[in-house]
Protein backbone atom coordinates (compact mmCIF):
# COMPACT_ATOMS: atom_id res chain seq x y z
CA UNK A 1 0.00 0.00 0.00
CA UNK A 2 2.84 2.39 0.72
CA UNK A 3 4.09 2.15 -2.86
CA UNK A 4 0.56 2.50 -4.23
CA UNK A 5 -0.07 5.60 -2.10
CA UNK A 6 3.22 7.13 -3.21
CA UNK A 7 2.38 6.55 -6.87
CA UNK A 8 -1.10 8.06 -6.41
CA UNK A 9 0.40 11.07 -4.63
CA UNK A 10 2.83 11.71 -7.47
CA UNK A 11 -0.03 11.58 -9.98
CA UNK A 12 -1.71 14.40 -8.06
CA UNK A 13 1.53 16.42 -8.01
CA UNK A 14 2.17 15.87 -4.30
CA UNK A 15 5.64 15.33 -2.88
CA UNK A 16 6.57 12.49 -0.53
CA UNK A 17 9.06 14.07 1.86
CA UNK A 18 9.62 11.19 4.31
CA UNK A 19 9.01 7.45 4.65
CA UNK A 20 8.89 5.46 7.89
CA UNK A 21 8.69 1.76 8.59
CA UNK A 22 8.69 -0.26 11.79
CA UNK A 23 12.46 -0.09 12.18
CA UNK A 24 12.71 3.71 12.18
CA UNK A 25 9.51 4.86 13.92
CA UNK A 26 11.59 6.39 16.73
CA UNK A 27 12.91 8.93 14.22
CA UNK A 28 9.31 9.99 13.56
CA UNK A 29 8.82 10.72 17.26
CA UNK A 30 12.01 12.76 17.43
CA UNK A 31 12.21 14.28 13.99
CA UNK A 32 11.54 17.74 12.56
CA UNK A 33 8.15 17.66 10.83
CA UNK A 34 8.41 21.13 9.26
CA UNK A 35 7.09 21.12 5.72
CA UNK A 36 4.92 18.01 6.15
CA UNK A 37 1.24 18.70 5.52
CA UNK A 38 -0.15 15.26 6.35
CA UNK A 39 0.97 11.77 7.36
CA UNK A 40 -0.59 8.64 5.85
CA UNK A 41 -0.56 5.52 8.02
CA UNK A 42 -0.86 2.02 6.55
CA UNK A 43 0.85 -0.48 8.81
CA UNK A 44 -0.14 -3.39 11.05
CA UNK A 45 -2.89 -3.63 13.70
CA UNK A 46 -0.43 -3.88 16.59
CA UNK A 47 1.45 -0.74 15.47
CA UNK A 48 -1.30 1.58 14.26
CA UNK A 49 -2.36 3.21 17.54
CA UNK A 50 1.18 4.11 18.60
CA UNK A 51 1.99 5.43 15.13
CA UNK A 52 -1.09 7.65 15.19
CA UNK A 53 -0.32 8.83 18.71
CA UNK A 54 3.20 9.84 17.65
CA UNK A 55 1.93 11.76 14.61
CA UNK A 56 -0.83 13.55 16.52
CA UNK A 57 1.52 14.60 19.34
CA UNK A 58 3.82 16.10 16.70
CA UNK A 59 0.90 18.14 15.37
CA UNK A 60 0.61 16.21 12.12
CA UNK A 61 -2.76 15.68 10.47
CA UNK A 62 -2.91 11.92 9.89
CA UNK A 63 -4.88 9.61 7.60
CA UNK A 64 -5.12 5.98 8.76
CA UNK A 65 -6.10 2.95 6.70
CA UNK A 66 -4.88 0.20 9.02
CA UNK A 67 -7.60 -2.15 10.28
CA UNK A 68 -7.84 -4.59 13.17
CA UNK A 69 -7.14 -2.17 16.07
CA UNK A 70 -10.72 -1.13 16.92
CA UNK A 71 -10.28 -1.57 20.68
CA UNK A 72 -7.86 1.40 20.80
CA UNK A 73 -9.73 3.63 18.36
CA UNK A 74 -11.74 5.54 21.03
CA UNK A 75 -8.48 6.34 22.85
CA UNK A 76 -6.85 7.74 19.70
CA UNK A 77 -9.96 9.70 18.71
CA UNK A 78 -10.03 11.29 22.19
CA UNK A 79 -6.35 12.18 21.86
CA UNK A 80 -6.94 13.80 18.47
CA UNK A 81 -9.72 15.96 19.90
CA UNK A 82 -7.75 16.84 23.05
CA UNK A 83 -4.75 18.14 21.08
CA UNK A 84 -6.90 19.87 18.42
CA UNK A 85 -5.53 17.44 15.89
CA UNK A 86 -6.82 16.24 12.54
CA UNK A 87 -7.53 12.53 12.12
CA UNK A 88 -9.14 10.69 9.22
CA UNK A 89 -9.83 6.98 9.72
CA UNK A 90 -11.37 4.48 7.33
CA UNK A 91 -11.34 0.72 7.03
CA UNK A 92 -11.42 1.17 3.27
CA UNK A 93 -10.52 4.27 1.25
CA UNK A 94 -12.19 3.15 -1.97
CA UNK A 95 -14.74 5.76 -3.02
CA UNK A 96 -16.83 2.90 -4.42
CA UNK A 97 -16.86 1.12 -1.05
CA UNK A 98 -17.83 4.38 0.65
CA UNK A 99 -20.80 4.68 -1.68
CA UNK A 100 -21.68 1.02 -1.14
CA UNK A 101 -21.64 1.62 2.62
CA UNK A 102 -24.21 4.38 2.22
CA UNK A 103 -26.34 2.22 -0.07
CA UNK A 104 -26.07 -0.63 2.47
CA UNK A 105 -27.28 1.74 5.18
CA UNK A 106 -30.39 2.56 3.14
CA UNK A 107 -30.88 -1.07 2.09
CA UNK A 108 -30.80 -2.18 5.74
CA UNK A 109 -33.43 0.37 6.71
CA UNK A 110 -35.84 -1.00 4.09
CA UNK A 111 -34.96 -4.62 4.84
CA UNK A 112 -35.77 -4.23 8.54
CA UNK A 113 -39.48 -4.11 7.60
CA UNK A 114 -39.40 -7.51 5.91
CA UNK A 115 -38.30 -10.35 8.20
CA UNK A 116 -38.90 -12.93 5.49
CA UNK A 117 -35.53 -11.96 4.03
CA UNK A 118 -32.42 -13.63 5.44
CA UNK A 119 -29.45 -11.30 5.12
CA UNK A 120 -25.68 -11.74 5.46
CA UNK A 121 -22.40 -10.25 4.31
CA UNK A 122 -19.83 -11.99 2.13
CA UNK A 123 -16.20 -10.93 2.63
CA UNK A 124 -13.55 -12.31 0.22
CA UNK A 125 -9.85 -11.35 0.24
CA UNK A 126 -6.41 -12.69 -0.65
CA UNK A 127 -4.76 -15.21 1.66
CA UNK A 128 -2.33 -12.62 3.11
CA UNK A 129 -5.17 -10.51 4.55
CA UNK A 130 -4.39 -10.16 8.27
CA UNK A 131 -7.85 -9.54 9.72
CA UNK A 132 -10.94 -11.71 9.34
CA UNK A 133 -13.58 -10.46 8.96
CA UNK A 134 -12.11 -7.47 7.19
CA UNK A 135 -12.46 -3.95 8.50
CA UNK A 136 -14.64 -3.17 5.49
CA UNK A 137 -17.02 -6.04 6.28
CA UNK A 138 -17.28 -4.82 9.86
CA UNK A 139 -17.91 -1.29 8.57
CA UNK A 140 -20.75 -2.57 6.37
CA UNK A 141 -22.23 -4.57 9.24
CA UNK A 142 -22.16 -1.48 11.48
CA UNK A 143 -23.86 0.56 8.75
CA UNK A 144 -26.78 -1.89 8.66
CA UNK A 145 -27.16 -1.95 12.43
CA UNK A 146 -26.93 1.84 12.83
CA UNK A 147 -29.85 2.34 10.47
CA UNK A 148 -32.23 0.09 12.36
CA UNK A 149 -31.21 -3.08 10.61
CA UNK A 150 -30.35 -6.43 12.11
CA UNK A 151 -26.99 -7.82 13.17
CA UNK A 152 -25.68 -9.53 10.06
CA UNK A 153 -23.50 -12.64 10.04
CA UNK A 154 -20.30 -12.26 8.02
CA UNK A 155 -18.98 -15.10 5.88
CA UNK A 156 -15.22 -14.47 5.41
CA UNK A 157 -13.24 -16.31 2.74
CA UNK A 158 -9.49 -16.00 2.13
CA UNK A 159 -8.34 -17.29 -1.23
CA UNK A 160 -5.85 -16.60 -4.01
CA UNK A 161 -4.95 -13.03 -4.86
CA UNK A 162 -8.41 -11.47 -4.53
CA UNK A 163 -8.01 -7.73 -3.87
CA UNK A 164 -11.37 -7.47 -2.15
CA UNK A 165 -15.00 -8.46 -2.72
CA UNK A 166 -17.87 -7.47 -0.44
CA UNK A 167 -21.50 -8.41 -0.93
CA UNK A 168 -24.62 -7.80 1.09
CA UNK A 169 -27.13 -10.51 0.25
CA UNK A 170 -30.81 -10.70 1.19
CA UNK A 171 -32.74 -13.80 0.20
CA UNK A 172 -36.37 -14.86 0.56
CA UNK A 173 -38.18 -17.87 -0.84
CA UNK A 174 -39.05 -15.73 -3.87
CA UNK A 175 -35.94 -13.74 -4.74
CA UNK A 176 -32.33 -12.83 -4.04
CA UNK A 177 -30.96 -9.29 -3.80
CA UNK A 178 -27.22 -8.56 -3.92
CA UNK A 179 -25.32 -5.33 -3.36
CA UNK A 180 -21.73 -5.96 -4.44
CA UNK A 181 -18.41 -4.15 -4.63
CA UNK A 182 -15.35 -5.73 -6.21
CA UNK A 183 -11.98 -3.98 -6.10
CA UNK A 184 -9.97 -4.44 -9.30
CA UNK A 185 -6.70 -3.10 -7.90
CA UNK A 186 -5.24 -1.44 -4.82
CA UNK A 187 -5.12 1.84 -6.76
CA UNK A 188 -8.69 2.59 -5.64
CA UNK A 189 -7.58 2.50 -1.99
CA UNK A 190 -4.47 4.59 -2.65
CA UNK A 191 -6.35 7.25 -4.63
CA UNK A 192 -8.98 7.45 -1.90
CA UNK A 193 -6.27 7.91 0.75
CA UNK A 194 -4.86 10.84 -1.23
CA UNK A 195 -8.35 12.34 -1.57
CA UNK A 196 -8.78 11.95 2.21
CA UNK A 197 -5.42 13.66 2.78
CA UNK A 198 -6.42 16.62 0.62
CA UNK A 199 -9.75 16.82 2.48
CA UNK A 200 -8.04 16.71 5.88
CA UNK A 201 -5.60 19.52 5.07
CA UNK A 202 -8.48 21.73 3.91
CA UNK A 203 -10.70 21.19 6.98
CA UNK A 204 -10.55 22.26 10.64
CA UNK A 205 -9.38 19.97 13.47
CA UNK A 206 -11.57 16.97 14.15
CA UNK A 207 -12.08 13.27 13.53
CA UNK A 208 -13.31 12.42 10.03
CA UNK A 209 -14.29 9.44 7.89
CA UNK A 210 -15.46 8.60 4.39
CA UNK A 211 -18.99 9.90 5.02
CA UNK A 212 -17.46 13.37 5.41
CA UNK A 213 -15.53 12.95 2.16
CA UNK A 214 -18.75 11.97 0.38
CA UNK A 215 -20.56 14.94 1.91
CA UNK A 216 -23.12 12.86 3.81
CA UNK A 217 -21.50 12.85 7.29
> Which residues does the annotation mark as catalytic?
125, 129
- Note the helical H segments in the chain: 2-11, 25-30, 45-57, 73-82, 95-111, 135-146, 187-202, 210-214
| Distances, alpha carbon 119 to alpha carbons 80, 137, 187, in Å | 36, 14, 30
Contacts of 201 (CB under 8 A, 6+ apart): 37, 38, 61, 86
Sign for the CA dihedral angle at 107, 212, 52, 187 comes to positive
d(CA 70, CA 129): 16
In the chain the first and final C-alpha atoms are separated, in Å, by 26
Amino acid sequence: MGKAVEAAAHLKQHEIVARFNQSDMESLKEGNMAGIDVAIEFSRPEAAAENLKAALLLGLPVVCGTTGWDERMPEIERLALSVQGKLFISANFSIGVAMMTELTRKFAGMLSRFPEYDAYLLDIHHTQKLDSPSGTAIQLAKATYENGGRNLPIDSIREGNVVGIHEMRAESSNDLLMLRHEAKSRNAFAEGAIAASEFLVAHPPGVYGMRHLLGVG
